[in-house]
Amino acid sequence: MRLLVTGGCGFIGSSFIRYVGREHADYRITNLDAITYAGNPENLRGIERVLDYSFVRGRVEDRSVVERLVSEAEAVVHFAAESHVDRSIRDAAPFVTTNVLGTQVLLEASRRARLGRFVHVSTDEVYGALGEEGVFSEGTPFAPRSPYAASKAAADLLALSYHHTHGLPVSVVRPSNNYGPRQLPEKLIPLAVTNLIEGRPVPVYGDGRNVREWLFVEDCCRAIDAVLHRGRPGEAYNIGSACERRNIDVVREILAMLGKGEDCIEFVSDRPGHDFRYALASDKVKRELGWEPRTDFSTGLRSVVDWYRDNADWWKPLKARLGRG
């Protein structure tokens, strides 16, 4: 298969390319990435030695680049996005440009090329927030509560509209919070781990009681691969682990793994519109595609802690560039 991956130098995108390289060694993969602050070519260092792989630096909203690459592909998996909520609160414009306009450009090029398959990677944040109980199903009405989530909701709906209007074989995946190696150290888990390794406190928003459903990145990649090959066009699939943790409990587990005490926690002012809880019903992807998460949270978290402890040369320059060092 000739596969175009957008945003393949980011955390989930690069993990997906590595996964596909192991599972489908005969695929030819082209990676389109703008190499913004979130894209890191080091995530795929040496991949061309084991995979038919090429890299193109460019933006998904650049029609000429996108049309050329789509015309050479049989399928697209679209990860490219601005994805950090805090950044969207400070300035929403790049999120609209990349996440909405960029997705439309990619969809239109795919329609014109009569592309055989298109998987759009969305997020559970399009649904909004939950209280203490309940879960989001694929039919839950969208209620995004941050500029980031709103831009992803718009892209999600655009993707499905291209199936219903134009017949483009689009499927959408909505994963829960991913974690794993090579995640940018501005997200909760890698920030906590690296700060503690450096002897710095861990910032926790509010009282830390916000709840997220944590999914190990390789489990997410397996689900996306299953949707790429067997998902129904015009359908959305939630991808969750059913593993819910309060942010404060995640931090406490990391503290225990690194032999640190709770005096290393620094509670900071909550961010505006901070969603209380996300949780997904993932019955559909399990029933239709036979997918199940394989990595329990403690095992996955331990592997992440070990990876960051062993790869300071990867994350220290990133933290310095992000102003986290």
Residues marked active site are found at 124-125, 148
For residue 82, which amino acid is it?
E
Query: How many CB atoms within 10 Å of residue 100?
Result: 20
Q: How far apart are CA 227 and CA 236, in angstroms?
A: 9
Query: How many CB atoms within 10 Å of residue 107?
Result: 26
Q: Quick check: 89 and 72 in contact, CB under 8 A?
A: no
Strands 117-121, 28-33: pairing is unpaired
Q: How far apart are CA 224 and CA 201, in angstroms?
A: 35
Residue pointed to by tokens 């090579």: 182
Q: How far apart are CA 194 and CA 167, in angstroms?
A: 46
Q: How far apart are CA 164 and CA 172, in angstroms?
A: 13
Q: How far apart are CA 297 and CA 290, in angstroms?
A: 21
- What DSSP assignment string belongs to 278-304? --B--HHHHHHH-------HHHHHHHH
Q: Quick check: 285 and 237 in contact, CB under 8 A?
A: yes
